[in-house]
Amino acid sequence: MAFYPVVVSPFLLPLRKFPKRLFFIPVLLFGIVFLVTSKAVVSSIQKYVRAANYISAAQIFLGDNFLLERPLSFADIKPRLLGHWGTAPGVNFIYANLNYLIKKHQAEMLFILGPGHGYAGLQSNLFMEGTLGKYFPFATQDLNGLGHVIKNFSWPYGFPSHTNPGTPGAILEGGELGYSLATAYGAVLDNPDLIAACVVGDGEAETGAIATAWHLSKFIDPSTNGAVLPILHLNGYKISGPTIFGRMSNADLLSLFKGSGYTPYVVEGEDEGVYEQMLETLEKCYQEIREIQKNAKTGKKLMGVPRWPMIILKTPKGWTGIKELGGLKVEGNYPSHQVVAAHAKEDVKELHAVENWLKSYNFGELFDPKKGFIKEIKDLVPDPSLAMGNSKYARGGKEVMKDLKLPPAEQFAEDAKIPGTMGSSSMRRAGLYLNEVFRLNKDVRNFRMLSPDETYSNKLDAIFETTSRASVMPSEPWDKDMGRDGRMMEMLSEHSLQGLMQGYVLTGRHAVFASYEAFVQIIASMADQYAKFISVMRNYPWHGQIPSLNYILTSSGWRQEHNGFSHQNPGFIDDMLHKRGCFTRIFFPPDGNSTLAVLKDSQ
């Protein structure tokens, strides 16, 4: 593995030991060694990406002849062409580079793919790293396995066209857009060794949910949580036109993300140079992440918000694909978004365009029908324990589930021997109970609460005896109940909190979301999508148990006469009632004691 050098920055060399005039020698030597190894790494990554791009495109088009052993014919083309090509080459490029980073540092990484419609790309990587074969035994890394994957992509009873609950390593569906970043932040909470690489597409970047989730870094204490490495992947186009972020200048992009609290790096291009940039930038980001975490743990530079690195990656839409078709610019333009040559099954010109495109990858050089991928590619793949598709964090079950200790409901019950006794506030009781939950589970770090309307407003502030509100922002002497290690997440963004909760719970930990009843309707759509996700997840036996999402709806309609009609909406409960009883349970505890009983037994 000569091409995985540990890159030591020259500035770390013991400079004082050398006479000044000899200084240039080690620097020069180092430069040459670095250049050679870096060239070798880039060459391997390029080969890996070429293979992944071939498989991505082949999945969309080919039903047979998937090694192109004979001239491509209409019969080889699938009868219904489905799948998104445009983002796939970028996804492959990112995945390959992350693989190199993981191997080099033996880093534990989770891959969160915002543009999950680019599943042809992700599945290629899962196949190449062997995790697809682990969970889908026909996907062996040989000729048969390759054929199985290509033929069964976007095929009835085969593999879906989008990232889905059956995708190894995935905790995000490739459907409704906007939730990648908050999910990634949720996954790294209380997982200090984990780095979640989160790809945000430039379509998704236009959603409100993403736009505000950039602020979530302001809640992450680097000494007790993992890190998110956001990669804003701008290929510039949606289905039929340009994206907002794709038309912003680099100066504006850098300004926007600096202002959002990050250290942004632009990686841009389409030739070898972009490979070199990405290699260097990812290494820099990794070092910055570890530096921030080290400083936080050793108490250095604790003040202020850490400026985590992020990458703005600009590569052409449909990079390496068909350049032009019927006079229309395809690569680097919107026609690359989905199926590129949609009439390849009837139109000879399009068929040839697909054939020439697929041949351009010289897949035969990279894959042997018997031995599988060439050594250079295999060497880039991390060990199964670190392969992103095989991440334990995405599988639920015993490996990651951290059981929650719950106190008995009686501990906080009120005397209600005389029928009709008016008890105290249900929420005050709930606050006492939840405070005890925080206390009992303090060392396990397996429980968080979230609220968009603030804990005090929801009368749950008894929890602040044990915990506080998470914040790494600058503090003032008069602040109360704020803490870098707080377990209560307060942000006026229902979307961000729901995303955080999904990321936290899907990786095996427990959470309660407290919201005014009226405004929780804001995330009805997210809750719908989540219910479908876990419904499908149950079909895959290798997915272990995960905890439930728990909502406490406060300030229900009848308590909102003072704030008015705008604060009344029972829509979320209606929405939940549409789901089957095996997915949702809804309780209406009429008093404090019943609330305690529900809290004890609903988890």
- Binding to a second copy, residues 60-99 (CB under 8 A): 80, 82
What is the C-alpha separation between 164 and 92, in angstroms, rounded? 18
Which residue do the tokens 């995000």 mark?
A: 172
Q: Which two tokens stand for residue 334?
A: 């919107």
Part of the chain binding a second copy (CB under 8 A), chosen from 33-41, 367-375, 500-508, 567-575: 567-575
Residues 480-539 interacting with a second copy (rule: CB under 8 A): 480-482, 490-496, 518-519, 521-522, 524-525, 528-529, 532-533, 535-536
Which of 30, 456, 540, 583 touches a second copy by CB under 8 A? Answer: 456
Helix/strand/coil (H, E, C) string of 206-251? HCHHHHHHHHHHHHCCCCCCCEEEEEEEECCECCCCECCHHHCCHH
Q: Is 263 in the site for a second copy (CB under 8 A)?
A: no
Q: Which of 571, 585, 601, 603 binds a second copy (CB under 8 A)?
A: 571
Find the binder of a second copy among 148, 345, 459, 469 (CB under 8 A).
Answer: 469
Which residues within the stretch 176-205 sit at the binding site for a second copy (CB under 8 A)? Answer: 176-178, 203-204
Tokens of 20: 């000044």
Beta-bridge partners for 510: 447
CB 236 within 8 A of CB 247: yes
- Residue 171: what residue type? I
Question: Rounded to the nearest whole angstrom, what is the least distance from the CB of residue 450 to a second copy in the complex?
Answer: 13
Task: Kindly state the tokens that stand for 48.
Answer: 């890996």
Identified binder of a second copy from the candidate list 19, 415, 558, 566, rule CB under 8 A: 566
| Residue whose tokens read 């109940």 | 481
Residue 218 Cβ, how far from a second copy at the closest point, in Å? 6
Of the candidate residues 37, 263, 295, 457, the single one contacting a second copy (CB under 8 A): 457
Bridging pattern class, strands 328-329 and 227-234: unpaired
Pairwise CA distance, residues 330 & 341, whole Å: 10
Tokens encoding 520: 């929780």
Q: Read off the DSSP letter of residue 203.
A: T
Give CA torsion, residues 62, 63, 65, 67, to 10 deg.
50
425 counts as binding a second copy under rule CB under 8 A? no
Least distance CB 252 / a second copy (angstroms):
5
Of 271 and 476, which has the nearer Cβ to a second copy? 476
CB of 551 to a second copy, least distance (A): 15
* Residue 87 Cβ vs a second copy, minimum distance, rounded to whole Å: 14
261 counts as binding a second copy under rule CB under 8 A: yes
SS3 115: coil
Q: Which is nearer to a second copy, 172 or 596 (CB)?
A: 172
> What x-and-dash track marks residues 210-249 binding a second copy by CB under 8 A?
xxxxxx--x-------------------xxxxxxx--xx-
- CA-based nearest residue to 225, from 503, 13, 12: 503
> Residue from 142, 206, 276, 591 that binds a second copy (CB under 8 A)?
206
The residue within the footprint of a second copy, chosen from 372, 453, 514, 547 (CB under 8 A), is 453
Quick one: which of 375, 357, 367, 361 has its CA closest to 143? 367
Sites for a second copy among residues 139-178 (CB under 8 A) = 154, 160-162, 164, 173-178
Q: Does 379 bind a second copy (CB under 8 A)?
A: no
Dihedral sign computed on CA atoms, order 493, 496, 499, 501: negative
Instruction: Tell me which residue of 77, 70, 150, 158 sits closest to 341, measured CA to CA.
Output: 77
Check binding of 123 to a second copy (CB under 8 A): no
Name the residue among 8, 43, 71, 65 with its Cα closest to residue 356.
71
Stretch that binds a second copy, among 38-46, 142-150, 354-362, 456-464 (CB under 8 A): 456-464
- Per CB under 8 A, does 208 bind a second copy? yes
Which residues 310-369 are close enough to bind a second copy by CB under 8 A? Answer: 328-329, 333
Minimum CB distance to a second copy smaller for 5 or for 246 = 246
Interface with a second copy, residue 573, by CB under 8 A: no
Rounded distance, CA 103 to CA 276, Å?
17
CB of 151 to a second copy, least distance (A): 16
The residue type found at 227 is: A
